[in-house]
């Protein structure tokens, strides 16, 4: 286990609009505001997303199992934001997405776009040294925390 204790810094409230990109929007706010570490909360509408619902395969290399969500629908999610090796903020978000009887829980990825309104709260974490570092075994950018 790796962990560090920090303090809450700034709190950013944002509203995303119809058609905006979920990941690009949140990461661009973090970049503009110089946020290196944060907790992220989202609630609102989602137009569409490709959602990782777990691993399709575990060996020899983990392969993600994707499901398509087509809305408009609702989304409620929580995530973290840490910079990668290049100093760029990278969001990792898990969410529940749904419309009617169609529900998906997982990690919305590429192409995730907003329906009408999405409210975002970013809670900056100060005083920790954490980054998403590429893990050679998986190829994933995994969180590493220095003490």
How does pLDDT run across 4-17, given as a tens digit for each residue? 999 999 999 999 99
pLDDT above 90 covers a percentage of the chain that reads 86
Mean pLDDT of the chain: 95
Instruction: Please write the tens of the pLDDT for every residue from 32-67.
Output: 999 999 999 999 999 999 999 999 887 767 888 999
Q: What is the mean pLDDT of residues 92-100?
A: 97
Average pLDDT of the segment spanning 96-105: 96
What pLDDT sits at residue 58? 77
Report the pLDDT averaged over residues 63-80: 95
| pLDDT at residue 74 greater than cutoff 90 | yes
Cβ contacts of 40 within 8 Å, gap of 6 or more? 26, 77, 78, 79, 80, 81, 91, 93, 120, 121, 122, 123
Q: What is the pTM (predicted TM-score) of this model?
A: 0.94
Report pLDDT for 16. Answer: 98
Phi, psi of 28 (to 5 degrees): -70, -35
């Amino acid at each position: 286990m790796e962990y560090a204790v920090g303090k809450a810094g700034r709190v950013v409230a944002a509203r995303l609009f119809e058609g905006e990109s979920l990941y690009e929007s949140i990461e661009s706010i973090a970049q503009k505001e110089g946020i290196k570490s944060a907790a992220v909360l989202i609630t609102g509408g989602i137009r569409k997303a490709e959602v990782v619902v777990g691993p399709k395969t575990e060996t020899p290399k983990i392969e993600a199992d994707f499901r398509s969500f087509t809305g408009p629908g609702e989304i409620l999610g929580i995530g973290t934001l840490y910079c990668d090796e290049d100093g760029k903020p990278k969001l990792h978000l898990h969410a529940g997405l749904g419309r009617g009887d169609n529900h998906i829980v997982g990690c919305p990825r590429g192409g995730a776009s907003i329906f009408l309104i999405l409210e975002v709260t970013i809670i900056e974490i100060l005083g920790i040294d954490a980054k998403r570092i590429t893990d050679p075994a998986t190829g994933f950018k995994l969180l590493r925390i220095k003490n």
